[in-house]
Structure 1
């Protein structure tokens, strides 16, 4: 058993004051009895007010009107109701598709990569991030179908055996996206379910009626024996290592939708890592926003979600903001000094054209705001300020995708073929509908799934202890085998 000792706190404080401050600031050093912690999570799931059902009903109505209604109108009327015109045939729908796939990367990153590197602060919010992966993919997976237009022939994207020996066009980005999303959705769902089993068993033992029946089936007769825990930890470790390359491959495939084309401004070898870094930046920002909402709306959640978690995620956001800025300006420098006049014209049009405000909004939200704020520890530990910053970062990431797709397509090699993209009402309602769908799914999940992995928090609290060194006690972390 390895022990890592970290001396924290103000040296001028007494031992008792330092110990109390550590317990107040760090969840791992502030343990509660196991039964009390289980009751806190179950109470948060079963405590439902009238306001909750009013919000759920409103969201369901908005999904029906904005998403299903607008989509049905497009199916009946045709894609002519969209604002896509020559030369811009990819618009807001594809922008939103890339945005949702990017958001979905946070669950895998926060859970799998931080688990591999044994970042202890991840424990209370890994499931909240993992659910964001599933629901983000569910929202993003609709867009290949929506953009297909003739959605009743969606099976043309599916590689299935048939008597006529007709196969999909594997050179089509629609097929790539279908395969990538399907693979990532299945693997991420399994990865969510594995660590969920002990908490489902905990919910099974503390609920009655229909909830007990459902949890009994989903818990797979979990009894918590040593053999079951040993197998579960091995399975989670294997999936944690296996799903990381899947995460990277999915957004690389999305970047290939653009990079393999000969379109000016897209044909770039840097798009793969550039898209991945942008996806992680937007995804972690979305995790912070969701944690703030959960902390303020769910009962007992302020015990599990503390300023230390916003602080740690704020540092990650700052690092990935700098990494994103490096790739962004690297791409511009390579294209600018590449000698292609058309590419230079495209880059100039981004910064000086009629839609230049989108380009500047992207830089302000993705670079200026994080760099000017997240270096400050007090800001990082203030949840409502972090929520505002992360919302602005995702606005900037949406502006980045908008710059890459319709703004780049509107300024190509032939001046007579330039155009300005003006999205129509249908294109605005459908993305809003998927946003409402995402929120609705999350709200429903908060009442049926333990959003806090209680067993992981309890395991971390066992591993974290205050060890006596001299006349004072300092926090230490033991690696549990």
Structure 2
């Protein structure tokens, strides 16, 4: 494939009609979320349905979901690069962009949950190292900067190419490319230095990513409550994060492949391989779910009986079985068959995984908070149940739309598939 043809195929494209409609729709949802947050700032957290017992609600569910999605950066980028998995090259940029967008909104939703945003500043000025919350702040901040660098360094060789196509990018973007990448000359010394920096980041981001999910799980597990009092939570969170991260990548692969006609670069072989990875991760996460619930189910301690009954056959049973079936079992059944690992079925499986993962995070938070060790006595009826207010739903949907908007903007600015890496690989394979 000619070098010029690869460049023309992979250069960022301007939004067409549907791209503008999509972006406008996301902006509208974000604005509705911003209005709901304004109401929360003005009137306080009383506008939410959170009370003394359910003091976290869907905000923290959303936080755990975003943190899980962000692990995709270390799964696809770091592990594939370090393991020398060449077929994963077209997917690395997609994974890096998703990781950056997700970790941004993981931090934002925590600020939203605090009520008064200035409290976030106090975490840095009055944080106590004895608290798992400050551990979370440290590792998320570290992960954010490593993710930014892991997106930026592989972009540098593409900057030189993008600077040659002023008419395609527009004057504004051309100035931006010049600002962030004009120093890149493409010399052998720069390539060696860049490769070394990327490898160091790949090595660093894996333990940091594992630490994020372990520390997040500790926020729950160090609290002596039914459903959270578990030594399995760290591995349980990591397995779930790998699954939903991979699900996000396959959905993005399909959308970008269709929207930008990248069939030559994101091939059916990529979906076949990612489908196999999804099966492995879904079965691994299913194992941890069985491990998480089977042992306490057999023990059936009095403190956990109401919680478990609520999940398996009570108020939360419909959501629980929906999350298990949608997020793990159905995708596994689809992807076990060769025809199920074609692009469309893999994309559908990825969507099911993401939906199931969001509801699974909701179930991690809410049922436990509604089953405290000390039984509820003489409290208003609203304290015994939790139904998110419209403000909570609007802010949650706004944060999800904001993540998609960041991804949309980044793929408009930067090539979805690394151009320089693709050219080098084409030369090496002689295609």
- Normalization by structure 1: what TM-score? 0.84
Go from structure 1 to structure 2 and tell me whether the alpha carbon gap of 1:62 and 1:416 turns closer, same or farther (over 3 Å shift).
closer
**Looking at CA atoms only, which structure, 1 or 2, has the larger radius of gyration?**
1
Is the Cα contact below 8 Å between 2:93 and 2:418 reproduced in 1? yes
Structure 1 position 371 matched with structure 2 position 332: yes
1:257 aligned to which of 201, 219, 226? 219
Structure 1 position 234 matched with structure 2 position 196: yes
Go from structure 1 to structure 2 and tell me whether the alpha carbon gap of 1:220 and 1:349 turns closer, same or farther (over 3 Å shift).
same
- DSSP-derived class of the 2:319 partner: helix
Match in the other structure for 1:23: none
Go from structure 1 to structure 2 and tell me whether the alpha carbon gap of 1:82 and 1:170 turns closer, same or farther (over 3 Å shift).
farther
Match in the other structure for 1:144: 110
Distance across 2 between alignment mates of 1:282 and 1:365: 12
Match in the other structure for 1:438: 403
Match in the other structure for 2:385: 420
- Count residues with an aligned counterpart: 423
Structure 1 position 183 matched with structure 2 position 142: yes
Structure 1 position 156 matched with structure 2 position 125: no
Is the Cα contact below 8 Å between 2:27 and 2:405 reproduced in 1? yes
**Alignment deviations for residues 41-99 of structure 1 (CA, whole Å, 9 cap, x no partner):** 22xx244324423332332222111x211111001011011111232112011001100
Match in the other structure for 1:477: none
Output aligned runs, 1:100-249, within 5 Å.
Answer: 100-159=66-125, 167-208=126-167, 209-249=171-211
**Alignment deviations for residues 19-49 of structure 1 (CA, whole Å, 9 cap, x no partner):** xxxxxxxxxxxxx11121012122xx24432
Match in the other structure for 2:271: 310
Output aligned runs, 1:251-330, within 5 Å.
Answer: 251-298=213-260, 300-330=261-291
Distance across 2 between alignment mates of 1:115 and 1:195: 11
Is the Cα contact below 8 Å between 1:366 and 1:397 reproduced in 2? yes
Shift, 1:339, TM fit: 5.8
Is the Cα contact below 8 Å between 2:90 and 2:418 reproduced in 1? yes
- DSSP-derived class of the 1:319 partner: helix
Match in the other structure for 2:8: 39
Is the Cα contact below 8 Å between 1:200 and 1:450 reproduced in 2? no
Is the Cα contact below 8 Å between 1:349 and 1:411 reproduced in 2? no
2:16 aligned to which of 26, 36, 49? 49
Structure 1 position 86 matched with structure 2 position 52: yes
Go from structure 1 to structure 2 and tell me whether the alpha carbon gap of 1:50 and 1:337 turns closer, same or farther (over 3 Å shift).
closer
Higher helix share: 2
Shift, 1:200, TM fit: 1.3
Distance across 1 between alignment mates of 2:67 and 2:339: 32
- DSSP-derived class of the 2:263 partner: helix
Is the Cα contact below 8 Å between 1:410 and 1:419 reproduced in 2? yes
Considering only aligned residues, what root-mean-square deviation do their CA atoms show, in Å? 1.8
**Alignment deviations for residues 93-122 of structure 1 (CA, whole Å, 9 cap, x no partner):** 100110011011112211101111122221
- Normalization by structure 2: what TM-score? 0.93
Match in the other structure for 1:470: none
Unaligned runs of 5+ in 1: 1-31, 160-166, 467-481
Distance across 1 between alignment mates of 2:82 and 2:10: 26
